[in-house]
Amino acid sequence: MKLRTPLDRNDLKIKKNYNVLEVGSGHNPTFVSNVIVERYIDDNTHRSEDAKIYPHQKFINSSGEDMPFKDKEFDYVICNQVLEHVEDPVKFVKEQERVAKRGYIETPSMIGELLFPKKSHKWVVLDIDGKLVLFEKNKMPGNYENNYGELFLNYLPYQSLIYRLLWFSEPSLMITRYEWEGSIDIIVNPEDEYYKSFFTKPWDRYMTEKLFPKRKLTKEIGKFVLALYYLTKTEIKKKIFKRRPILLREYLKINKSL
């Protein structure tokens, strides 16, 4: 079941003693992960850069749908920007449930996919009523050719403080963030008109407030203060802990020679 919507990937409920798996980390692995599963070593079709890894992590070359681990071998599994690519999302999600007790799934939201689409993305993902609802992108109306990623991904996050605060005060606006425990509620290509309408019809006020509930002024101020605090803490951590992953191909050369 869904536990919460984290502010970002650094806001996960991971204890220091957890055994952490990360599936499909690509060029942006999470430092706290102990084991990295990556299907593609040299093929960058599904990522924007060459694959990377931290030296302390163990690498497994495997598909996320069929991993060589025991049931519940891991305390936590991170799946960042992967689910929108897979051919069989139900099988993929069931495998996450099998190998881990809890975890985190992150994908672009529908708004994010419209603003900075990727041709390799098969699915558009929304969190509706605590369920991950996936709809095939080629079945949706909308213009996925105009890519504004240079503005919304590469420019504003580094130039605009207000824009960065927006990401933390509305963490589900551009990104679907889903922290779970035990099981994951997933619906793929819903036929039910309620879920289907979020992907195929203009959002009315009911639909908008369903995804982004109204907040009282006091709660809105609290959200802003929390976002400002979290942004400040994140920037301080970046300056103190300057961690940089290495290229996966270099990691494999080093470990092969040992």
pLDDT per residue as tens digits for the range 247-256:
999 999 888 7
pLDDT at 85 over 90: yes
So what's the pLDDT on residue 144?
87
pLDDT at 169 over 60: yes
Q: Averaged over 139-149, what is the pLDDT?
A: 88
Measured between alpha carbons, how far is 232 from 104 in angstroms, rounded to an integer? 23
Domain count along the chain: 1
Q: Averaged over 149-177, what is the pLDDT?
A: 93
Q: Say what percent of the chain tops pLDDT 70.
A: 99
Measured between alpha carbons, how far is 123 from 190 in angstroms, rounded to an integer? 12
So what's the pLDDT on residue 61?
96
pLDDT at 257 over 60: no
By the 8 A CB rule, do 175 and 5 touch?
A: no
Domain hosting residue 20, numbered range: 2-257
Q: Averaged over 81-110, what is the pLDDT?
A: 97
CATH at 198: 3.40.50
Measured between alpha carbons, how far is 33 from 24 in angstroms, rounded to an integer? 12
What pTM was computed for the model? 0.93
pLDDT at 258 over 60: no
So what's the pLDDT on residue 143?
82
